[in-house]
């Protein structure tokens, strides 16, 4: 058996990313380990036990250039929920920018949103 442990998201600053994901969205800070010139920062959405996000501070011009565009302008991250309305309203109240109103697709209820760094996400409640 295999599972996807984590995905790295390049951000401009560790603390602003932690403040957004863990503060505004209520994610869990699982690890924050100082490694000298960088930190190992791993977070999980509320209630999750796997599929974490590694927050990695950009440390080169090439990495800085991809912040907010790591997926070429496409939605590249997908956050599932068991209650779309609850989480959509909570995210709006936290100031999250949604690019569209909720849509009702054959696979579930979905809306595209952006984090403060420009990364596009889907919030999805599967059908």
Q: The pTM is what?
A: 0.93
pLDDT at site 82: 96
Please give the average per-residue pLDDT across 67-95, as a whole number.
Answer: 96
Give every CB contact of residue 117 below 8 A, 6+ residues apart in sequence.
11, 12, 17, 67, 68
Distance CA(105)–CA(87), nearest Å, equals 18
Q: Do 1-58 and 75-127 come out as alike in CATH topology?
A: yes
| CATH dotted code for 75-127 | 3.10.180.10
Output 106 or 50, whichever has higher pLDDT: 106
Tens-digit pLDDT profile for residues 49-77: 989 999 999 999 999 999 999 999 999 99
pLDDT at site 77: 96
Determine what percent of the chain is predicted with pLDDT higher than 70.
100
The residue ranges of every structural domain in the chain are: 1-58, 75-127
Our separate counts of H helices and E strands in the chain read 3, 9
pLDDT at site 125: 98
pLDDT at site 1: 87
The whole-chain average pLDDT of the chain stands at 96
| CATH dotted code for 1-58 | 3.10.180.10
């Amino acid at each position: 058996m295999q599972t996807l442990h984590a995905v790295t998201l390049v951000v401009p600053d560790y603390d602003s990313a932690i403040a957004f994901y863990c503060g505004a969205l209520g994610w869990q800070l699982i690890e924050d380990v100082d490694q000298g010139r960088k930190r190992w920062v791993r977070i999980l959405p509320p209630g999750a036990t796997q599929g974490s996000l590694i927050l990695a501070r950009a440390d080169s011009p090439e990495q800085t250039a991809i912040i907010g565009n790591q997926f070429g302008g496409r939605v590249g991250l997908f956050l599932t929920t068991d209650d779309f309305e609850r989480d959509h309203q909570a995210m709006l109240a936290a100031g999250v920018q949604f690019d569209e109103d909720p849509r009702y697709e054959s696979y579930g209820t979905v809306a595209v949103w952006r984090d403060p760094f420009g990364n596009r996400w889907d919030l999805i409640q599967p059908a």
